[in-house]
Amino acid sequence: MILAVLAGAIAAAAYILLAYFLSDVVYRVFLEDQTLSDVTPDLFTLLLLLLVQGCAIWGRELFAQRSATIIKSNLREQLSNKLLLLGPLYTRAERSGELVNTFVEGVESLDHFMTQYLTAKALAIIVPMMVLLVVLILDRWTTLVFLVAGPMMLLILALIGGRVRAITERRYLEMSWMSAFFLDILQGLTTLKLFGREQEQARNIERISDEYGDTTMEVLRTAFQSSLVMEWAATAATAMVALTVSLRLMNGSLPFNIALTLLLLTPEFFLPIRQYALRFHAGTAGKAAADRIYAILDIPTRKVVATRAKGKSHQPQRLDISFERVTFTYAEGQRPALEDFSLDLPQGSRLLLVGPTGAGKTTISQLLLRFAKPNSGRIMVGGVPLQTIDEDAWRRQIAWVPQLPHLFHGSIADNIRLARPNATLEEIISASTAAHAHDFITALPRGYETDVGEHGARLSGGQQQRIAIARAILKDAPILILDEPTAHLDSHSDRIIRQALNRLMAERTVIIIAHRLELAYDADQIVLLEGGRVSEMGSHAELLTRNGSYSQLATLYNERIRTGGER
């Protein structure tokens, strides 16, 4: 960027010299009757200055564009890393469409900010100062005109610029909101069609688009008004210089070559200020985008819920997991999820977490996956604090099968290979067979190369779940977290999935989050959570004998099965 500004300054310096030598050549030819041979060296000098000016202008654009490309690439990398570091707890609280708009359109809007606005802003100071210095040497009266007109134009720009900035920031927010709103409509299209509300949402999109268009036109009108005022001011100042120079030229107090030089330099004094006014809109748009980008990048480390352990990373010898009076809250302490939670889970055992929605079951898995850290208390693994274990090394020890597995746009093989990128096709087939997924995959037109579509839209829920289980089997991790793995499946798919899960759970430490109680019979320990606290804890048989909340839950569950209700 410094090179871009320097190239712009060199181009201005070349023009200043060009104006001086050109005025001198015209003076000598027309007033001193010199021949072509007399001014030939000066003409070559003019040609050289033209080449220098052209190369400098080209270099200014090249260096500015290069800096914009580097900065956009770096910002996208930093945003990606930051969002990955913040984890799902942060992104879940934000609108996906707004984040996508920031990542794509927001970063891209910095192109004009870097290539046009920043260089114009710097040159609007440097070039007029260079011209002013030369004019001060040539003619003090013209200098006075510059000293009055220049600051006045900057004052006008500052007055108009405040309004442009406010409107541009509003326009960027409207763009972000429109992106998020449209993404919501796309993702909820089935629901909108079902309830017959698609036309209403289409009208909402039209209304939002009209508002965005109106704001865009308001920005353009304001930018045009500022440019118009700046053009008038520059024209008036140039006319003033022309008038004073002409009067003094006619009364003989100013040489012709100096007068012509002043007339040629006057537009160059005001040109950078006018260009800065023209590109002020690009600057405010980039500033609005940058504010949102850095609002994400500048989130303090203490607010980052998944921090990397500082200092030496410890590796436990065993994978016995222990929660010691763990408390965790969402929304900066306003929404408690776990309170004074304690639990011991020996290596190789099975734990079933049950309880109503919002009891804190999924929060426990988020804490173990290092997407969040406790507000108080600690989690120990083999006697080692979890926060001292390297995140990547720890997550390699965990396989996770969520309630709604995410499949990326791509082939089935690519989605399974996500667990182990260097896995061979034979290993993928073996994992798929163990997950009872191989038969339906081979029945597809392209087998393992079949494109699953966005979010796995081309597969059924049971097929998506079996691919997620195949992915977990391929990972072959010693700790397994199952978060409602059969919650939305029919009885046939449920039976197939449970057969695959039984193979997957063998000889592993397993944490199961479920409302269905089939897996309770084989669990070594069952924890009933209510309001973020442990209500009951023990084996299935022990909890039944206590006739507490778990016993009532099991009775209701068995009754629903006997009457043929949903599990």
Q: Please compute Rg for the chain using Cα positions.
A: 35
Give CA–CA dist 510/400, Å, rounded: 10
Mean pLDDT, rounded, for 260-279 = 87
E strand or H helix at 159, and its extent? helix 140-187
Query: What is the reported pLDDT for 332?
Result: 63
Q: What is the DSSP string of 258-292?
A: HHHHHHHHHHHHHHHHHHHHHTHHHHHHHHHHHHH
Give the dihedral of Cα atoms 175, 180, 186, 189; nearest 10 deg: -120
Give me the residue label for tokens 């763990």.
326
Q: How far is CA 474 from CA 53, 180, 241, in A?
A: 63, 36, 80
Residue 235 has pLDDT above 90, yes or no: no
Query: Does residue 558 surpass a pLDDT of 80?
Result: no
- Indicate the pLDDT class of residue 562, thresholds 50, 70 and 90: low
Identify the residue with better confidence: 274 or 515: 274
Residue 348 confidence (pLDDT) above 50: yes
- With a pLDDT cut of 70, the percent of the chain lying above it is 88
Is residue 456 over pLDDT 50?
yes
Single-letter residue type at 358: G
Q: pLDDT tens digit string along 170-207?
A: 777 777 777 777 777 776 766 666 666 777 777 877 88
Give residue 134's pLDDT: 92
Helix (H) or strand (E) holding 127: helix 119-138
What span, in angstroms and rounded, lies between the C-alpha atoms of 516 and 227? 68
Q: Which two tokens stand for residue 502?
A: 């039984």
CB 389 within 8 A of CB 315: yes
d(CA 419, CA 475): 5
| pLDDT tops 50 at residue 108 | yes
* Structure-token pair, residue 299: 């989130």
Residue 494 reports pLDDT greater than 90? no
- Between 181 and 347, the more confident residue is 347
Q: What residue segments make up the domains of the chain, in order of their start?
A: 2-303
- Mean pLDDT score across all residues of the chain: 81
The CA-atom distances, in angstroms, between 372 and each of 52, 340, 551 are 58, 16, 32
CB 468 within 8 A of CB 502: no
Instruction: Give me the DSSP letters along 445-495.
Output: TTGGG-B--GGGTTS-HHHHHHHHHHHHHHHT-SEEEEESTTTT--HHHHH
**Is the CB of residue 288 less than 8 Å from the CB of residue 113?**
no
Residue 309: per-residue pLDDT: 44
How does residue 104 score in pLDDT terms, banded at 50, 70 and 90? confident
Locate 516 and state its tokens: 């269905």
Residue 339 structure tokens: 């309170």
pLDDT reported for residue 52: 95
Arithmetic mean of pLDDT, 330-347: 80
Check whether 334 has a pLDDT greater than 70. Answer: no
Average pLDDT over residues 145-159: 80
**Residues 59 and 67 sit within 8 Å (Cβ to Cβ):** no
pLDDT at 361 over 70: yes
Reply yes or no on whether the pLDDT at 126 is more than 90. Answer: yes
Structure tokens at 280: 């002020």
- What DSSP designation does 301 have? G
Length of the chain: 567
Give the CA distances from residue 517 to residues 53, 55, 560, in Å, rounded to whole numbers and listed in that order: 80, 76, 12
**pLDDT computed for residue 193 by the predictor:** 67
Beta bridge partners of 525: 351
Contact 519, 554 (CB under 8 A): no
The model carries a pTM of: 0.65
pLDDT at 516 over 70: no
Residue type, 464: Q
Q: Out of 3-12, 76-85, 120-129, 282-291, which region has the weakest mean confidence (pLDDT)?
A: 282-291
CATH 1.20.1560.10 fits 2-303, yes or no: yes
